[in-house]
Amino acid sequence: NPNTPGSFPNISVGADSVFDFDGSSQHINLGNPEELQITGAITLSLWFNSTTATGGFITKSDSGNYFQMPTNKVYELGILSNSLAWQISDGTTSNALVHSFSSYLDGNWHHLMVTWDGTTNAGSMKLFVDGSEVASHQATISAMQNKSNSVIISSQNYPYRYIGKMSNVAIWNSDQSSE
C-alpha cells in the first residue's frame, strides 16, 4: 500500500511521499553514492499508478536515458509500448526481461518489484506485480558494469518521462524475492 512508510536506501519515506510526475522533465536524481554502485544482486521496488504506455521508472544509464545500448547502461526499469522492460548490462551485453504490462496501466495502485540474484541460473531475473511472480528470465551476465552515472527516477528526457504517481521506491544490493 503506497500510504504506508517505505524507504530509499538509508532514508525513510513517509506516507505522504507520493510523487506525481506529469510528463514534463520532472525526475529525481539520487546521484551515485557508494550504496547505489551495485554490480551484483539487486532489487528495485516501488508502487505506481499510471495509465501511460511508455515511461521510465528507474535507470542508471548515460544521461538518464532508457533502452540504450549495453555500453550506456547499468540497469533500467521502464514501460515501452505497454511492455515492462527490466534490463541489466555488463557493458558489452544487455539482458532483458520483457513482459506485457497493459493490464496494470489501469489508474490503480500496483506494487512492482524486479530482482536479479547476481547469477546466470535459470530464472535469475524476476518480475513481481502485486506480490505475485509474473515473469522470469535467465541472465547471461555475471556482473553489472560499474559506471559513475546517477540513478534517476523517471526521466528528464523525452519520450521516457513517466506520467503517473510513484511511491515507496527502494533499491537493495540483494535479491529480496525470498524475503
Sign of CA dihedral 97, 56, 75, 114: negative
Residue 32: CA count within 13 A, CB half-sphere: 13
Query: From CA 79, how far away is CA 87, in angstroms rounded?
Result: 11
Using one digit for the tens of pLDDT, what is the confidence trace for 122-168?
Answer: 999 999 999 999 999 999 999 999 999 899 998 777 778 899 999 99
Q: How many CB atoms lie within 10 A of CB 25?
A: 12
* Tens of pLDDT, residues 60-115: 988 666 777 788 889 999 998 899 999 999 999 999 999 999 999 999 999 999 99
Residues 6+ apart with CB under 8 A from 164: 20, 21, 48, 49, 50, 51, 52, 55
pLDDT at 117 over 70: yes
pLDDT of residue 13: 44
pLDDT band at 179, cuts 50/70/90?
A: low
- Give me the phi and psi of 169, to 5 degrees please: -70, 135
> Does 32 score more than 50 pLDDT?
yes
